[in-house]
Structure 1
């Protein structure tokens, strides 16, 4: 069968006006920043849109274009309806060997829809009940069973991460994520509430998989998963999911040294979270902001954000607290504050907060306890308390067991370097 030729998008070309493709691409990137999006738009992408090669933009570009041209629809911009584009995708798509930022959403979904009939979390290989997510074939009716499977997958991944860390989970955890988004693409729900739950579940699953990438040092993958979750939140109009996505994005940006971006993401998360009834969520987002200010070396702004975090935390938990925040209690509050003081160079104060985190932490959260102890070891080493640092680091190594976290091992490696540089006994 002959392939149909791309039809040039003349409507989009008219909107570009007298701007060159490069100039228009720069305008798109500016518009994206205005609404907190991240798109890798360049002249080549604009050319492909105008040539009709991109018949429908991914969700991030859709929001940017609609922001640039208020009152216009995708059809007014010369694009085809998303369901029309995806509905004609062949059942066995060719293998995808390349990928770029601007089409990551489309390519990911192309891969998802060519998968097998069922993907199960049991394939993680670390025990626990299976949570099978059916990948749709043809018309697929979404009901309680499918939504519950996605929600169960989110819970199971989080439990396994608590116990084992991220490194051994990431590749396997991507399988249920593909199945969840395949349901979004191909399935239809009888009720709006069911569809909303599926969007929320898929977004949370994307954040969970993104966190596994984040914690195992795969920052580019994490950024993509977090952006996917944010896109899902925006499409579904889900402020809770949006706040979670911005929270994780801020954390990642801080770890990657993009501190201004981390501040903006935390503040965007706070705006999304304000209508929600969760002081604890506001506390965590304020801590993310504090960590970003600390990275910038702004002690005053950091202390102000820490003050807000403690004030929100003091209001206590509530029924409005998101399920994913089960990890956030006083130990995490202390640990995140310790990270702020570390970044500001006050290692003695950081060590006090890190020690308090280790004392308060429930041993069930093996990965977090190891993280807090690794933080403490590093702070002690930098504070010149070398024997205490070495002893604490050995406790981390002895306790790691099945916990596989590149973040923790990197922290231990830093402690080892500090100790070796001072002629102290290493791990």
Structure 2
């Protein structure tokens, strides 16, 4: 009779069973406690981990994606050894070898035959000064590039979550926690280069918190975060971080209907050196300027800035850029063009631009897709096509199903309902829209 392994009340024969197979069996019974611990250290939910892994898969040009169901199979031990691309993505998210995440390779896997200490030394040497997770309580006396990388990875995960769900209080608090951790790391011994990068990351987190407030229509809190983010970006001597802050400042001014302030913020971003070096950044700043001019009803200036934005974007080339900038591209420029043209009374052209935006928007930008759909409905309504406009808004609620509507989206739907009542107050379609959606858009 062979040896038996007792786990709880279940017995598993282990005689002649390879060690890797034995460990995989235990993992399926007890779950992956190592991965759970790492997830808790980073402060990520299962959904956030899926988004972070998908970001790494996209960066590696992999077509595969994961969802919460896949993450659950990792956590409960049903998947003991993910496919290679997902293993690499997980190592990128957590900055450690896949075995440290509790995954067990099959016995035939050549990697098992390596000396694990050799692999660990190789991995650690490739990530300078590997340290604790950015959102756990302890920190080391020496701070290195890997600490900054961990902070940036978590910031990218928050950005991806914002793309899916939009701004909310938990996102704001998580971003502020990341900023505090970056500032806390300043207490450690580090080089001036790393210190500047820590200030840059802190500025990014704080700007992320500000953006979450803007999207949630918590405008006064957003202003306080932006003031701090601009200070940190200046201390970091980081012009791309300053662009992020000025971009959010222009958005905040737009929400407050301070359209002159929105133009000034966009022009402040245009004056930075990175705008002259990177056509992608230049395009974004010109598009923001065009939006401000359109709200001031200065059609000539708006269209001139829009042409600058289109020209600059045509010159942009793929290159590594911060996670917060990933939203901008052809699709976003079409979406901004739709707003600008609708403001200038070119409603049919605005409708066409909205369709172009929706056809180009990646599926993971769920919140932006819902906003573009609302803008499409507004341009249809402004052409007098009431029934089509109301039907189009149904797509907004379908897209955001399962998540509360961000405050900015609720406000935009409120604008739609106001214009609907102004343009067609006595139609059955308008009354039906109000009866069906009033509660949903105003309270969710």
Matched ranges for 1:185-334 at <5 A:
186-274=186-274, 277-319=277-319, 321-334=321-334
Counterpart contact for 1:273–1:282, Cα < 8 Å: no
Moved more, 159-168 or 320-329: 320-329
The residue matched to 1:187 in structure 2 has which SS? coil
- Matching residue of 1:122: 43
Matched ranges for 1:89-128 at <5 A:
121-122=42-43, 126-128=47-49
Q: What is the TM-score when the length of structure 2 is the normalising length?
A: 0.64
Please report how far the alpha carbon of residue 281 of structure 1 lies from its aligned counterpart in structure 2 after TM superposition. Answer: 0.5
Distance 1:358 1:317 in 2: 22
- Matching residue of 2:384: 384
Q: CA RMSD in A?
A: 2.5
- Matching residue of 1:148: 149
Moved more, 257-266 or 404-413: 404-413
Q: State yes or no: 1:337 paired with 2:337.
A: yes
The residue matched to 1:245 in structure 2 has which SS? helix
Please report how far the alpha carbon of residue 357 of structure 1 lies from its aligned counterpart in structure 2 after TM superposition. Answer: 0.8
- Matching residue of 2:177: 176
Q: What is the TM-score when the length of structure 1 is the normalising length?
A: 0.66
Gaps of 5+ in 2: 1-39, 50-92, 95-132, 438-444
Counterpart contact for 1:134–1:179, Cα < 8 Å: no
Please report how far the alpha carbon of residue 320 of structure 1 lies from its aligned counterpart in structure 2 after TM superposition. Answer: 6.2
Please report how far the alpha carbon of residue 157 of structure 1 lies from its aligned counterpart in structure 2 after TM superposition. Answer: 0.4
Cα deviations by residue, 1:41-89 (Å, 9 ceiling, x for unpaired)? xxxxxxxxxxxxxxxxxxxxxxxxxxxxxxxxxxxxxxxxxxxxxxxxx
The residue matched to 1:317 in structure 2 has which SS? coil
Please report how far the alpha carbon of residue 292 of structure 1 lies from its aligned counterpart in structure 2 after TM superposition. Answer: 0.8
Higher helix share: 2
Distance 1:298 1:166 in 2: 31
- Matching residue of 1:414: 415
Please report how far the alpha carbon of residue 321 of structure 1 lies from its aligned counterpart in structure 2 after TM superposition. Answer: 4.3
Change (3 A) 1:278 1:147: same
Please report how far the alpha carbon of residue 275 of structure 1 lies from its aligned counterpart in structure 2 after TM superposition. Answer: 6.1
Distance 2:322 2:339 in 1: 24
Please report how far the alpha carbon of residue 302 of structure 1 lies from its aligned counterpart in structure 2 after TM superposition. Answer: 0.7
Distance 1:364 1:275 in 2: 27
Counterpart contact for 1:331–1:358, Cα < 8 Å: yes
Distance 1:386 1:302 in 2: 28
Please report how far the alpha carbon of residue 309 of structure 1 lies from its aligned counterpart in structure 2 after TM superposition. Answer: 0.4
Distance 1:364 1:377 in 2: 21
Counterpart contact for 1:260–1:292, Cα < 8 Å: yes
Moved more, 407-416 or 358-367: 407-416
Distance 1:209 1:194 in 2: 23
- The count of aligned residue pairs is 308
Change (3 A) 1:274 1:196: closer
Cα deviations by residue, 1:67-116 (Å, 9 ceiling, x for unpaired)? xxxxxxxxxxxxxxxxxxxxxxxxxxxxxxxxxxxxxxxxxxxxxxxxxx
Distance 1:187 1:414 in 2: 48
- Matching residue of 1:133: 135
Cα deviations by residue, 1:393-423 (Å, 9 ceiling, x for unpaired)? 0111122123432222222232233334412
Counterpart contact for 1:295–1:343, Cα < 8 Å: yes
Change (3 A) 1:323 1:189: farther
Q: State yes or no: 1:162 paired with 2:166.
A: no
The residue matched to 1:402 in structure 2 has which SS? coil
Please report how far the alpha carbon of residue 344 of structure 1 lies from its aligned counterpart in structure 2 after TM superposition. Answer: 2.5
Distance 1:371 1:121 in 2: 30
- Matching residue of 2:402: 402
Change (3 A) 1:311 1:175: closer
Counterpart contact for 1:339–1:350, Cα < 8 Å: yes
Counterpart contact for 1:250–1:261, Cα < 8 Å: yes
Cα deviations by residue, 1:313-371 (Å, 9 ceiling, x for unpaired)? 11132426444221112110000111112222333322221121112212121111111
Counterpart contact for 2:155–2:178, Cα < 8 Å: no
Counterpart contact for 1:246–1:269, Cα < 8 Å: yes
Change (3 A) 1:197 1:182: closer
Please report how far the alpha carbon of residue 297 of structure 1 lies from its aligned counterpart in structure 2 after TM superposition. Answer: 1.2
Moved more, 341-350 or 262-271: 341-350
The residue matched to 2:223 in structure 1 has which SS? helix
Please report how far the alpha carbon of residue 148 of structure 1 lies from its aligned counterpart in structure 2 after TM superposition. Answer: 2.3
